[in-house]
Amino acid sequence: MNALVAPPVLPGAGLARLRGFVTNLAELIDSTRGEREILESGAKLLARLVNQDDWLPEAYAQPDPDRYRQYLLHCDARERFSVVSFVWGPGQGTPIHDHRTWGLVGVLRGSERSERFVRNPDGSLKHAGTDVLHEGEVEAVSPRIGDIHRVSNAETRHASISIHVYGGNIGAIERATYDLDGRAKRFVSGYANTELPNLWDRSVRA
């Protein structure tokens, strides 16, 4: 797929895909409290979603000229998980940060660079490797397996979009960004949008 051109969204099939993902993920979380199983099985569900690029409404795929955008697509009624689209313009990225909950990241368009960090005994941070995720690929984060990273658009000429799933309402969780010396600065990210896609209108069918 040419990542420069967004494919047309199919109103029925598109939102049905996202609705099905949300429903299946909720059922997974209902059936287990184990993070390992949630990440392993959830990664398969997310990979299936991001391997089909006909569902993300255009309103939640818009880049900003100055910084990356984080759009909420769905939040579970009990805030057990949230689904977010991240839109990265060329050269855009995050500071080093944590999540404080489990997370899954799948690339829908373009590619995304993730630089992992671990703590030294003195509390400072050490670079622990770089991964580049391409369209359809998924990775996991959590305090158990590694939770501190820096993310950026791996494409130099166009936007990239990744779909993130977190074990909570990520826009409301108090987290931290970090300097390399380990000093933390608290933040709550919020979201770029004030309205959500309507996943539950079944009047339009594919």
Binding region for Fe cation: 97, 99, 149
- Binding-site residue set: 97, 99, 149
Please identify which residue in the block is written with the tokens 């909720």.
Answer: 26
Distance CA 25, CA 15 (A): 15
CA 120 to chain centre: 27
